[in-house]
């Protein structure tokens, strides 16, 4: 298989070959699988990635899972043992896979701007259009999936700097205003947020589109500028640097031209995770963001990261997860983003994750024959 310029292959393995499989408890995935089944059957199938796995490959597994209420971790594992074939995703250049993590931040906001609350979260503007092979001008790179349309002319959408400097002013697109431009920026990076209003009311927003420009990580910029050592880069160290250099905040944030638009996403139960790209609630510690150009939402992935010990009380990370989200920085067959949950504690966990990892995809046996 080929993912852009990097070749990979699927190597069939046994469940006994998955490091830590015998100790994992994937019971939490069963409600999530049913949520995916409902979306696929009642709304529409997930888009098929270049790997060639599709939603119909998943449905028999989800239908059988509907009849199962695992009584313990062993019975939950047995369900997958009996019905799936694991494959290791091997990069042919010998490099390792990699995981980072994301979370749902909680941001103090106001429904009206004032001297304290000055930085908006925007709804998707009407002049932002989806791009595909049918409407993309030759002047716009295929990596762009959104663009600006006005007077029948399609062009690049204004970037982060242009929007921060007022491009969307006066269009009544503001959902709410935050106190901190940095808080808004990191909500863009995460793709969702809880908004806490002064009266204690909490609402949710989630991704509704982007300006189209390629994501450029400001962590890498700060490393390249010699501001933060590579070994020390994390969300926490980036935030600390920005707080210590307020006059350079715009310079650094504008390096990432990508800009995210949101929509209100009411969820009756705030104990549930946010609804992300797969249109089902994320499950903390069990939801994975993947490259959707390669992978198809809903598929189970077993992730083993020997050096990632902060999420499992000092033990290496070894969990079965579902592919339920994607992200601009998640590129490649063995690249994933682990959802750690909501709020500040989840943010502390997510901000420090940047580890090599082994990726295994579990394919239902009837579909696995195509890859053996």
Query: CA 110: distance to chain centroid?
Result: 26
Q: What is the pLDDT of residue 71?
A: 83
Q: Tell me, yes or no, whether 139 and 120 share the same domain.
A: yes
Q: Tell me, yes or no, whether 279 and 258 share the same domain.
A: no
Band of residue 170 on the pLDDT scale cut at 50, 70, 90 = very high
Q: Tell me, yes or no, whether 118 and 233 share the same domain.
A: yes
Q: Tell me, yes or no, whether 166 and 228 share the same domain.
A: yes
Q: How far apart are CA 275 and CA 204, in angstroms?
A: 9
Instruction: Return the C-alpha torsion angle 208, 211, 216, 217, nearest 10.
Output: -30
Range of the structural domain that residue 199 is part of: 106-264
Q: What is the pLDDT of residue 6?
A: 44
Q: Tell me, yes or no, whether 112 and 227 share the same domain.
A: yes
Query: CA 108: distance to chain centroid?
Result: 22
Q: Tell me, yes or no, whether 157 and 14 share the same domain.
A: no
Q: Which of 242, 264, 286 is the last residue of a domain?
A: 264
Q: Tell me, yes or no, whether 140 and 207 share the same domain.
A: yes
Q: Tell me, yes or no, whether 41 and 26 share the same domain.
A: yes
Give the mean model confidence (pLDDT) for residues 144-152.
94
Q: Which of 235, 264, 293 is the last residue of a domain?
A: 264
Q: Tell me, yes or no, whether 296 and 358 share the same domain.
A: yes
Give the mean model confidence (pLDDT) for residues 98-106.
95
| Cβ(371)–Cβ(363) below 8 Å | yes
Band of residue 267 on the pLDDT scale cut at 50, 70, 90 = low
Q: How far apart are CA 265 and CA 343, in angstroms?
A: 17
pLDDT over threshold 50, residue 262: yes
φ, ψ of residue 155 to 5 degrees: the values are -150, 175
> Tell me: the pLDDT tens digits for 285-322?
999 999 999 999 999 999 999 999 999 989 999 999 99
pLDDT over threshold 70, residue 369: yes
Q: Which of 223, 248, 264 is the last residue of a domain?
A: 264
Q: How far apart are CA 154 and CA 322, in angstroms?
A: 36
Q: Tell me, yes or no, whether 206 and 64 share the same domain.
A: no
Token readout for 8 is 């990979």
- Tell me how many domains the chain contains: 2
| Cβ(235)–Cβ(244) below 8 Å | no
Q: Tell me, yes or no, whether 184 and 116 share the same domain.
A: yes
Residue 322, strand partner residues: 287, 300
Q: What is the pLDDT of residue 268?
A: 66
Instruction: Return the C-alpha torsion angle 111, 115, 119, 122, nearest 10.
Output: 40
Token readout for 124 is 């998707």
Tokens 């499992």 belong to 312
Give the mean model confidence (pLDDT) for residues 337-344.
94
Q: Tell me, yes or no, whether 203 and 302 share the same domain.
A: no
């Amino acid at each position: 298989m080929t993912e852009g310029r990097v070749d990979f292959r699927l190597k069939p393995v046994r469940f006994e070959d998955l490091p830590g499989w015998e100790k994992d408890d994937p019971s939490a995935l069963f409600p999530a699988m049913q949520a995916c089944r409902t979306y696929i059957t009642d709304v529409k199938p997930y888009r098929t990635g270049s790997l060639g796995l599709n939603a119909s490959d998943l449905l028999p597994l989800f239908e059988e899972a509907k009849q199962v209420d695992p009584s313990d971790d062993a019975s939950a594992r047995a369900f997958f043992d009996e019905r799936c074939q694991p494959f290791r995703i091997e990069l042919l250049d010998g490099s390792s896979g990699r995981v980072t993590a994301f979370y749902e931040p909680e941001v103090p906001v106001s429904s009206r701007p004032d001297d304290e609350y000055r930085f908006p979260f925007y709804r998707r503007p009407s002049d932002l259009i989806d791009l595909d092979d049918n409407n993309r001008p030759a002047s716009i790179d295929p990596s762009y999936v959104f663009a600006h349309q006005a007077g029948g002319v399609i062009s690049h959408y204004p970037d982060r700097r242009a929007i921060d400097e007022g491009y969307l002013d006066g269009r009544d697109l503001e959902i709410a205003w935050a106190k901190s431009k940095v808080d808004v920026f990191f909500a863009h990076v995460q793709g969702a947020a809880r908004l806490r209003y002064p009266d204690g009311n909490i609402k949710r927003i989630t991704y509704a589109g982007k300006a189209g420009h390629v994501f450029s990580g400001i962590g890498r910029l700060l490393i390249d500028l010699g501001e933060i050592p590579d070994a020390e880069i994390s969300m926490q160290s980036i935030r600390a640097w920005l707080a210590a250099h307020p006059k350079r905040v715009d310079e650094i944030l504008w390096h990432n031209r990508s800009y995210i638009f949101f929509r209100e996403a009411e969820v009756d139960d705030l104990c549930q995770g946010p609804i992300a790209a797969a249109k089902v609630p994320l499950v903390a510690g069990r939801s994975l963001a993947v490259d959707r150009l390669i992978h198809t939402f809903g598929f189970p992935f077993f992730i083993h990261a020997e050096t990632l010990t902060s999420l499992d009380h000092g033990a290496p990370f070894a969990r079965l997860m579902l592919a339920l989200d994607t992200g601009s920085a998640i590129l490649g067959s063995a690249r994933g983003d682990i959802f750690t949950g909501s709020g500040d504690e989840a943010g502390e966990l997510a901000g420090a994750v940047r580890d090599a990892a082994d990726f295994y995809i579990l394919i239902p046996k009837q579909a696995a024959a195509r890859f053996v």
